[in-house]
Amino acid sequence: MERIAIVGLGLIGGSLGLDLTRQGYTVVGIARRAETALAALSMGAAIEAGTDVALVAGADVVFICTPIDAVVATARAVIPHLSDGAVITDVASVKGKIVPQVAALWPNFVGGHPMAGKAEAGLAVAEPGLFRCRPYVLTPTEMTKPAALELVRAIAESLGANLSQCHPDQHDRAVAWISHLPVMVSSSLILACQSEINPNLLALAQTLASSGFQDTSRVGGGVPELGTLMARHNRAALLDALTQYQAQLEQMKTLIVAEKWDALHNTLTQAQTARPAYLKVPPA
């Protein structure tokens, strides 16, 4: 295998390009804008680059790294230029709707989701080693060809990512909990603080905000396009998670209203005890 095409040169596509170029692949980058393609070339995120999807011709693997809502259309545009054995994979953070649609267009498709977000988006914040020790989930179905799966898995492993595998619907429900719900929880925190009507108190709160607020608000202050796409494409699972979250928060509030301090302590202890399981480095 020699040639890898990356369609969409943002944070993920650009970071992939930086790693794969360094590994010696002929990385072909395709962007919507010519300036982005040029920037990818000059930073070493691609060996060839341009705006024409026909550049994917001859690629062994195509990574579709566009926003969620452009993945299926991009696959449709790319496919006429591919040779039969080529493998398509994507990096979208929602899989349930995308995977069956692209698989119906191209049998050698493997859904993927490298979990390596940042507060900022775009090629400017791409970096080598972005995927190292980060979760990278592949979402094969009964239809997925084993050889295609193995190929994408080998590339993801070469990035140093922690691979895991599940069904697209399971993926969407799991990321609703640990990725999409946190965005809504965190952005609501920022907006609740902004609702303080006394301007002096608001200024004081902003001055006193320290690392705790900074961390809790980070994903909520991220790119609005991404949060909107998450909600739009994973709406049902996110709403389930939100409803559970609201019930949990109401329960905690009830303990504070009733001054049940031992029960609140127990509840906070449960949270403290549960958290480490979400931090462990998963087996590769």
- Identify residues 250-269 at the interface with a second copy (CB under 8 A): 250, 252-253, 256-257, 259, 261, 264-269
Q: Using CB under 8 A, which of 38, 41, 125, 205 touches a second copy?
A: 205
For residue 113, which phi and psi values (nearest 5 degrees)? -150, 95
Instruction: Kindly state the helix (H) or strand (E) to which residue 162 belongs, with its residue range.
Output: strand 162-165
Q: Tell the smallest beta-carbon distance from residue 235 to a second copy (Å).
A: 6
Window 28-87: residues binding a second copy (CB under 8 A): none
Binding status of residue 272 toward a second copy by CB under 8 A:
yes
Nearer to a second copy, 73 or 268 (CB): 268
Binding status of residue 195 toward a second copy by CB under 8 A:
yes
Q: How many Cβ atoms sit within 10 Å of the Cβ of residue 122?
A: 14
Nearer to a second copy, 48 or 240 (CB): 240
Q: Using CB under 8 A, which of 40, 137, 138, 148 touches a second copy?
A: 137
Q: Pairing relation of β-strands 135-138 and 112-114? A: antiparallel
Nearer to a second copy, 48 or 196 (CB): 196
Binding status of residue 24 toward a second copy by CB under 8 A:
no
Beta-bridged to residue 5, according to DSSP, are 28, 62
Q: Using CB under 8 A, which of 110, 171, 199, 284 touches a second copy?
A: 171
Nearest 10 degrees: Cα torsion 265, 269, 271, 277: 180
User: In whole angstroms, what is the distance from residue 277 CA to residue 114 CA?
Assistant: 20
For residue 93, which phi and psi values (nearest 5 degrees)? -85, 0
Binding status of residue 178 toward a second copy by CB under 8 A:
yes
Q: Tell the smallest beta-carbon distance from residue 142 to a second copy (Å).
A: 18
The structure tokens listed for 164 are 């895991």
Candidate ranges 3-11, 17-25, 98-106, 201-209; the one touching a second copy (CB under 8 A): 201-209
For residue 3, which phi and psi values (nearest 5 degrees)? -115, 125
Window 219-248: residues binding a second copy (CB under 8 A): 219-225, 227-228, 231-232, 235, 238-239, 241-248
Alpha helices in the chain (DSSP H): 11-22, 34-43, 71-78, 98-105, 146-158, 168-175, 181-194, 199-208, 211-217, 224-233, 235-257, 261-274
Q: Using CB under 8 A, which of 128, 134, 141, 145 touches a second copy?
A: 134
Nearer to a second copy, 22 or 235 (CB): 235
Could you say which DSSP state residue 179 is in?
I
Nearer to a second copy, 24 or 283 (CB): 283
